[in-house]
Amino acid sequence: MYCSAYLSPMGAITIASDGDHLIGLWNDGQKYHGNEIFKGMTERDDLPVFVRTKKWLDRYFAGERPLISELPLAPAGSAFRQTVWAILCKIPYGETVTYGDIAKRIAAKMNKEKMSAQAVGGAVGHNPISIVIPCHRVVGSDGNLTGYAGGIDVKIKLLEHEGADISKLSVPKKGTAI
């Protein structure tokens, strides 16, 4: 397991890889940061996956729209989380969807009457490859900018960077549920 650092306009980012695939990308200090897995990792900036990821991030922060499919992703998680993360990858650049919207899609896919938006929120919040798997594009059904492990301020900056219309969105009051 390997890690590398990247300095973004949003602050320091840690990137993790199994040597071939991108397995993690976290803003330093974010909730659910991969600190525990880093203890056994070797810092290695020259891995091809890190070079590709940093070029992808350079392009993203330069205002380009690099495709998620350009990177070899391998986020570790349950089948449910994998399903949620796959849906996140389909949210268009600069657009937002609600946790409830994702819950409805998963319920339909699983032939269930309904799915918990809170369960979806848990999966979104534990996304190990932030920014690339765009969990920042998910908002509460009432327009709250809730649920971003990297912090609401970073979520707002990412959405503004992408040109998303955030005029009808609001910062949640402490304790607001998804």
Domain boundary among the residues 70, 92, 124 is at: 70
Catalytic residue (choose from 47, 91, 129, 135): 135
Range of the domain at 118: 79-161
Quote the distance between the C-alpha of residue 146 and its chain's center: 13
CA dihedral 84, 25, 95, 149 (to 10 degrees): 80
Can you give the pLDDT at residue 174?
62
pLDDT digits (tens, 9 = 90+) for 85-103: 999 999 999 999 999 999 9
Place of tokens 């590398």: 4
Joined together, the tokens standing for residue 145 give 């900018």
**Measured between alpha carbons, how far is 70 from 63 in angstroms, rounded to an integer?**
16
Same domain for 83 and 153, yes or no, is: yes
In a domain, 132, yes or no: yes
In a domain, 45, yes or no: yes
Nearest-5° angle of CA 32, CA 37, CA 42?
Answer: 135
Same domain for 156 and 83, yes or no, is: yes
Nearest to 75 by CA among 117, 37, 109, 40: 37
Number of domains in the chain: 2
Helix (H) or strand (E) holding 25: strand 22-27
**Which backbone phi and psi does 44 adopt, to 5 degrees?**
-155, 95
In a domain, 148, yes or no: yes
**Measured between alpha carbons, how far is 6 from 92 in angstroms, rounded to an integer?**
24
Q: Is 3 among the catalytic positions?
A: no
pLDDT digits (tens, 9 = 90+) for 5-24: 999 998 899 999 999 999 99
Joined together, the tokens standing for residue 112 give 């269930």
Is the pTM higher than 0.75? The answer reads yes
**Which backbone phi and psi does 124 adopt, to 5 degrees?**
-60, -45
Can you give the pLDDT at residue 177?
45
* Coil, helix or strand at residue 86: helix
The segments of the chain whose pLDDT lies below 70 read 30-39, 147, 174-178
**Measured between alpha carbons, how far is 155 from 130 in angstroms, rounded to an integer?**
10
Can you give the pLDDT at residue 87?
97
Can you give the pLDDT at residue 176?
45
Can you give the pLDDT at residue 38?
60
